[in-house]
Amino acid sequence: SSGINAEWPLRPGEAYASLYSSKGVVSSLCPRSFLERQVAQAREDNIHFAVGVEVEFILMKDGVPINNQHFANGPKLTEESELLDEVATALEAQSSACRPIEVLHPESGPGQYEIVFRYTTNPVEIADSVITARQTIHAISKKHGYQATFMAKPFPDQVGNGLHLHISCLDAKKGNSLVPGDQPSGLSEVAEYMVAGILKRLPQLVAITAPTPNSYRRIKPGFWTGHKASWALEDKESAVRLCLDFNTGTVSNVELKTCDPTANPYLAVGGLLAAALDGIRSKAELGPPAVGPVLPTSLTEAIANLEQSTFYEEAMGKDLFKTFIEVKKKKVPTATLR
């Protein structure tokens, strides 16, 4: 389990933990345990997955973004420095349940900001960090008279909020990165298998990483969200982006863009790792860049894809898999796209 530091006065002490029955058996409905299983299975194959995350959110006053400034805008940062400093301080005080912050900066949309958490070879910590960040930002925004939204696409004419997942793989014994290599893609053979595995499962995985009807307003061409199951080097229009280390000129990690902050982070990261590991195990073949099928354009379509996936049924376990699908099916008819 992960404890939350109770030094931050706005919240009582909490702990994140996996679910167990009264007999001490892990619950088949536990999303956190699903993620833990994927981490453990990878380590059995001498693979350590390292994961990082970027969380976007919009600050509003009476339902309207608090400013009309854009990316890396100085006033956008300084005018809300008190609130943002308080967010950073509160998250640092909860270090046992939150990874260190690397960057907190203004993003592209009006009132939009992004917080980046440091990479870790314990992906469960990244999922914990997303939960901690959402709760903390909501509470501090309310204290300052604002509302924070993590909704995928709160405003039709503006950019949406993403939960960008970054993944790399390491040799568990040697500790060296298995991502850069001498293949034409700039990847190693192992990393190509990993990316191919993610792309193969993405038409089903997107039901987990983009889990609301509103999510599909965000996944459109021209919004840097990846509307096709494709990969490319430093191309933010591709669902899977190969990220360069500009100091070395080599690929350092892979970013999945078709994920938003309304996702359950344990399911999203777990589903990503399951696909990546399956690609490595099966030596999946990576196709050419910027080519791939169009991803689902609605949650209904995405859920239909997922429902046919024996791969995710086995990875998640039948109980969790069936429950997730049934909950989403029941929510779709009553959900709005606002």
Q: What is the pLDDT of residues 294-307, one digit of tens each?
A: 999 999 999 999 99
Measured N-to-C along each axis, helices 81-93 and 123-143 cross at an angle, to the nearest 10 degrees, of: 140
Q: Which residues contact 79 (CB under 8 A, 6 or more apart)?
A: 67
Residue 336 CA to residue 59 CA, distance in Å, equals 21
CA-based torsion, 8, 110, 335, 144: positive or negative: positive
Amino acid present at 231: W
pLDDT tens column, 266-297: 999 999 999 999 999 999 999 999 999 999 99
Q: Which of 17, 14, 39 is nearest to 26 (CA)?
A: 17
Task: Pull the structure tokens for residue 301.
Answer: 């379509």
Q: Does position 249 have pLDDT exceeding 70, yes or no?
A: yes
Where is average pLDDT lowest: 31-35, 150-154, 172-176, 285-289? 172-176
Q: What is the pTM of this model?
A: 0.95
